[in-house]
Amino acid sequence: MKLWGGRFEGQTSELMEQFNASIGFDWRLYEADIEGSVAYAEALADAGLITTDERDQLQRGLGQVLEEFGNGQFELRLSDEDIHTAVERRLHELIGPVAGKLHTGRSRNDQIATDLRIYARMAIKRVDESLCEVQRALLTQAEAHQQALMPGYTHLQRAQPVPVAHWLLSHFWPLQRDRQRLQDCRDRLNVLPLGAGAMGGNAFGIDQESLSQVLGFDSVTLNSMDAVGDRDFVAELLFAGALIGTHLSRLAEDLIVYSSAEFGFVTLADAYSTGSSLMPQKKNPDSLELARGKSGRLIGNLVGLMTVLKGLPSTYNKDLQEDKEGLFDTIDTLLLTLPVVAGVIGTLQINTERMRAALDDSLLATDVANELVRLGVPFREAHGMVGQLVRAAETQRIALRDLPPETVRATHEGLVDRWLHIFDPARSVEQRQSSGGTAAQSLATQLAAARGCSN
């Protein structure tokens, strides 16, 4: 059964039927599609276009179709073309010709736009929950590692000591921004397109305000041509997903590097590692490598849709059918990856003694410069002086603190007394009391804020 055969003489080519059909993937929208149709049947009855009895038949029939989908009994056919056709075909089988009244004034163009927004809304909710799960895992580990110190890095070179919790939470906030982006996207997409018809609006006096309320939308479209041709919300969601992907890739990179034998800062649980088919000793962080690699498809999906949209004429063009697979893939990928990342973090063994051992004196070079500043030396000069001390220590292959007192004195008389006090990572960390800094109080504030977010 086709929804449009009347004016056609020739048969659709079999190849074309296969090429054209979206039922292979858009069956996933069945819940949203049927939810929309149930509401639409109500609206048709309210507008006097069908009787209440017809409405009941339609709604009961739709209920049965939903059930068949839900319990896996619905039989898809290639000739179903798309989810709308499939549902209407089955409805017709179940309740006869009255099924043909459901589509009154409605087009697949406004129908799919409605379905997709309902789907996106639900998907955002679930991704948000999964992000929250990762945040909680980070927060739990952070709570447990507030005292332990590790080298903070820039350029993958040791920079300054930081609490392990501080590093862990540096991966918490990007996810918080991701959640806000998702929420913004959700607010923006929650506009009902139903009633836009094919592109010119609805001629049957359907009550869209009521439809909007029933279906949980916040408002109704103001332009029917825009309503059927707009896929901004898909692009925005794919972007949010792609950025989540890059955040996970950065977290994964840290952990992969830190779990190398050379760093040894963290050990992944066996549950999230795999081995080699050839090398018996290998335990590889496959979970994190995949999480890092998934950024590729997430960015690819975004690019795919942007390319589809580029240069498209107004309103609906069939190119837009290409919006769905990428969206489904992005959501599926996130809903699979995020729990794995949460699991990795939740079961991660953090080797604080290896971290501590990596806190060599050079990480406190800035503290030496700061001390000189407190002695009245302009920072820029202090920086230069300490740079030379670092070089001196390196040349002599000794730790900074072991430089001969005369070298220290030559730099600044006042430095000698304070010299040994400087080389205490805990002191360094405690001195950085800025907002977002490493001191205990700053960290406590940060942890409290994080707790507030991930509840």
Q: Report, as residue numbers or ranges, the catalytic residues.
A: 155, 276
Among positions 220, 410, 416, 440, the unique one binding a second copy when judged by CB under 8 A:
220
Among positions 214, 358, 410, 440, the unique one binding a second copy when judged by CB under 8 A:
358
Distance CA 215, CA 232 (A): 20
Interaction of residue 227 with a second copy, rule CB under 8 A: yes
Distance CA 87, CA 29 (A): 11
- Chain centre to alpha carbon of residue 232: 17
Among positions 38, 58, 83, 196, the unique one binding a second copy when judged by CB under 8 A:
196
Distance CA 321, CA 21 (A): 10
Quickly tell me which residue has 């729990």 as its tokens: 339
Q: How far is the CB of 167 from a second copy (least distance, A)?
A: 6
In the bound state with a second copy, the residue whose beta carbon lies nearer, of 27 and 204, is 204
Q: How far is the CB of 127 from a second copy (least distance, A)?
A: 16
Interaction of residue 122 with a second copy, rule CB under 8 A: no
In the bound state with a second copy, the residue whose beta carbon lies nearer, of 52 and 274, is 274
Is residue 112 within 8 A of residue 87, CB to CB? The reply is: no
Region binding a second copy by CB under 8 A among candidate stretches 28-36, 58-66, 124-132, 333-341: 333-341
Distance CA 381, CA 369 (A): 9
CA distance to 167, 172, 173, 287, per residue, from 345 (Å): 13, 12, 16, 11
Among positions 64, 79, 104, 140, the unique one binding a second copy when judged by CB under 8 A:
104
Interaction of residue 216 with a second copy, rule CB under 8 A: no
Distance CA 2, CA 10 (A): 13
Which among 375, 355, 377, 379 has a CA at the least distance from the CA of 429? Answer: 355
Q: Which of residues 265-284 bind a second copy (CB under 8 A)?
A: 269-284
Interaction of residue 455 with a second copy, rule CB under 8 A: no
Q: Which of residues 418-437 bind a second copy (CB under 8 A)?
A: 428-429, 431-437
Region binding a second copy by CB under 8 A among candidate stretches 25-33, 34-42, 240-248, 413-421: 240-248
Q: How far is the CB of 410 from a second copy (least distance, A)?
A: 14
Among positions 300, 401, 410, 418, the unique one binding a second copy when judged by CB under 8 A:
300
Is residue 134 within 8 A of residue 174, CB to CB? The reply is: no
Interaction of residue 36 with a second copy, rule CB under 8 A: no
Per-residue x/- track, 246-265, a second copy (CB under 8 A): x--xx-xxx-xx-xxxxx--
Distance CA 61, CA 67 (A): 10
Among positions 15, 73, 397, 417, the unique one binding a second copy when judged by CB under 8 A:
15
Interaction of residue 243 with a second copy, rule CB under 8 A: yes
Total residues contacting a second copy (rule CB under 8 A)? 202
Interaction of residue 182 with a second copy, rule CB under 8 A: no
Per-residue x/- track, 128-157, a second copy (CB under 8 A): ------------------------xxxxxx
In the bound state with a second copy, the residue whose beta carbon lies nearer, of 269 and 398, is 269
The Cα angle at residue 123 between residues 120 and 128, in degrees rounded to 5 = 125
Q: Which of residues 68-87 bind a second copy (CB under 8 A)?
A: 84-85
Distance CA 368, CA 362 (A): 10
Is residue 248 within 8 A of residue 337, CB to CB? The reply is: yes
Interaction of residue 441 with a second copy, rule CB under 8 A: no
Quickly tell me which residue has 């890059």 as its tokens: 246
Count CB neighbours of 446 within 10 A: 22
Q: How far is the CB of 171 from a second copy (least distance, A)?
A: 7
Distance CA 381, CA 376 (A): 10
Per-residue x/- track, 390-409, a second copy (CB under 8 A): xx--x-----x---------
Per-residue x/- track, 365-384, a second copy (CB under 8 A): xxxxxx--x----xxxx-xx
Q: How far is the CB of 405 from a second copy (least distance, A)?
A: 19
CA distance to 384, 420, 443, per residue, from 393 (Å): 14, 15, 33
Instruction: Name 165's Cβ contacts closer than 8 Å, sequence gap at least 6.
Output: 141, 142, 143, 145, 146, 148, 443, 447
Distance CA 420, CA 96 (A): 90
